Amino acid sequence: MAEVKSFTREEEKVLFSTIRKFKDIEAERDLNWMLLMRYTARRVETVHLLNVDDALLALDKGYLHIASHMQKGGKQGNKRGLNKKQEIYLVDAARRALEALLKIRKRMIAAAPEKAYEDTALILSRRRQRMSIRSYQERMTHWCNVAGIVKASPHWLRHTWAVRRLQNASTGAALREVQEVLGHEHITTTQVYTQPSRDDMRKSMQEAAL
């Protein structure tokens, strides 16, 4: 079974607190798309495709609506149809991230109103176009380096959500819930998150040393 690559609680704390120390608009943008991914468990391919209208609808309805073309597999979907439209409940942290991203977008446009910009994308690059998937990956690498933590990809945020959900679960139904939220076709794919995390292993080693 493949190893789940996720942030430990300490790494997550250090990453976000480090970015918050920087007050430039790109740091604010990066912090909030990371928080959005962390608290909605979305793939970078989905966040990359989010539009302003998607954010406004989510804030109005309390759910982030994910169309089939925005998910893994695109329009083709999969055998169980799990790549059909999903509705992801917005917890407060995700709501705040969406609100912040809308404000950041307006500020980026207002900073140079004479310049052209992508008129639908929620998250803009420095050139005010839709951020590419590669840019998300590069920004994550940059911030991991600044924070002095393990090199990670944006996908680790999705894994981190799943690991935390199962760590905090009190019933066996949580595995199925995680499967549905992540859109996995097979439960065996989701079961990878039940493996001991690095936090678990470290705690076990510390306890064994007493």
* CATH code at position 83: 1.10.443.10
Asked whether residue 39 is domain-assigned, the answer is: yes
**135-155 burial: b if 16+ Cβ within 10 Å, else e:** bbeebbeebbeebebeebebb
What is the rounded CA–CA span in Å between residue 184 and residue 163?
15
* pLDDT tens readout for residues 59-116: 999 999 988 677 665 544 444 444 567 889 999 999 999 999 999 999 999 998 888 8
Instruction: State the catalytic residue, choosing from 29, 105, 158, 198.
Output: 158
* 79 inside domain: yes
φ, ψ for residue 133, nearest 5 deg: -60, -40
Asked if residue 24 is part of any domain, the answer here is: yes
Q: Which residue in 72, 95, 96, 165 is the catalytic one?
A: 72
Question: How far apart are the C-alpha atoms of 123 and 48, rounded to whole Å?
Answer: 7
Q: Is position 71 within any domain?
A: yes
> Is residue 69 situated within a structural domain?
yes
Assess if residue 66 is contained within a domain.
Answer: yes
CB 124 within 8 A of CB 130: yes
72 is catalytic: yes
132 vs 71, which has greater pLDDT?
132
- pLDDT score of 133 more than 70: yes
Q: Is 155 a catalytic residue?
A: yes
Number of domains in the chain: 1
At 10-19, the pLDDT tens digits run: 999 999 999 9
Q: Is residue 126 part of a domain?
A: yes
* Residue at 144 is within a domain: yes
pLDDT at 184 over 70: no
Reply yes or no on whether 96 is catalytic. Answer: no
Contacts by 173-180, CB closer than 8 A, 24 or more apart: 180/82
Which of 43, 130, 159, 164 is catalytic? The answer is 43
**Three-class SS state of 123:** coil
Active-site annotation holder among 42, 105, 159, 193: 193
Residue-number span of the structural domain to which 16 is assigned: 9-204
Q: What is the mean pLDDT of residues 161-184?
A: 70
Whether residue 136 lies in the annotated active site: no
pLDDT, position 118 = 87
> How much helix, strand and coil, in percent to the nearest 5, is found in the chain?
60, 5, 35
Q: Give the span between the Cα atoms of 143 and 146, in whole angstroms.
A: 5
